[in-house]
Structure 1
């Protein structure tokens, strides 16, 4: 049985605010959640130690870097054996343009999310890193027309 970290109302307020702006100092955060800075600091450390809070990151706007095409690529494997899957997963982890790779249920075996510069950039990755893998039988790609919603914040 998996044990979950118990969140109280103050923890939830802290997490909600930090998911929007992780750069806030303890004093500013304390003011926003109506608590002391030392209490906030202790709770943040406890949330980090429990694995609820991960590393501090800054989100980069892909368009500002010329990456304007979001692609979801479905992958079907030739083999479902553990070696084939492990080899494929290592190959996908090694390609930095693949932002997320999911093992999924249903008709396809994996779902990849990429943000690329253009169709030629996607073709290079698809042909050279995905279809070139010996375990891949087929792929199907969906191209994002417009992001309707995109968030990294989880409801707490």
Structure 2
């Protein structure tokens, strides 16, 4: 684990809220000089604490407002079967999150689609057609109660 002092923590908190802040604006918010903030941000990036700077898009405005949580059970548990399935997962834009799970199900996917018919096509022709998939169970999100990309620091 990378050691964070209080200024590093402030930097991470602020950048999680607004990744477009200039070094000067960030320095003002965290109480440090712009040069120090620039150096610290570079160190945090190099250590892997900070990743890519992105802009969050509105799924609703982009026609992908239906969120489906899909649990997947594999037919085989071999390293090769999992690697092949995970490559398939990475290749599908509809799958916006994927977690390898412990317990009864092997994977949990969050899938963003236009509507139920779009999901039906995707699950039948994509996930269930994959040779490593035994079965899947789907749950449709009725509404989003909380969503954040911020990790507590």
* Category of TM-score, reference length = shorter chain: over 0.9
Number of residue pairs aligned between Structure 1 and Structure 2: 153
**1:147 maps to what in 2?**
144
Give the whole-Å Cα distance in 2 for the aligned partners of 1:33 and 1:81: 48
The within-5 A match list for 1:7-156 is: 7-156=4-153
Give the whole-Å Cα distance in 1 for the aligned partners of 2:90 and 2:117: 21
Could you state the TM-score of these two structures normalised by the residue count of structure 2?
Answer: 0.97
Give the whole-Å Cα distance in 2 for the aligned partners of 1:32 and 1:95: 39
Structure 2: runs of 5 or more not aligned = none
List structure 1 segments (4+ residues) > 6 angstroms apart after TM superposition. Answer: none
Q: Deviations over 1:8-42 (max 9, x none)?
A: 00000010000000000011111111111111101
Deviation of residue 62 (structure 1)?
0.3
Could you state the TM-score of these two structures normalised by the residue count of structure 1?
Answer: 0.96
Structure 1: runs of 5 or more not aligned = none
Let me know the Cα RMSD of the aligned residues. 0.8
Q: Deviations over 1:115-151 (max 9, x none)?
A: 1110011111101110001111110001101111100
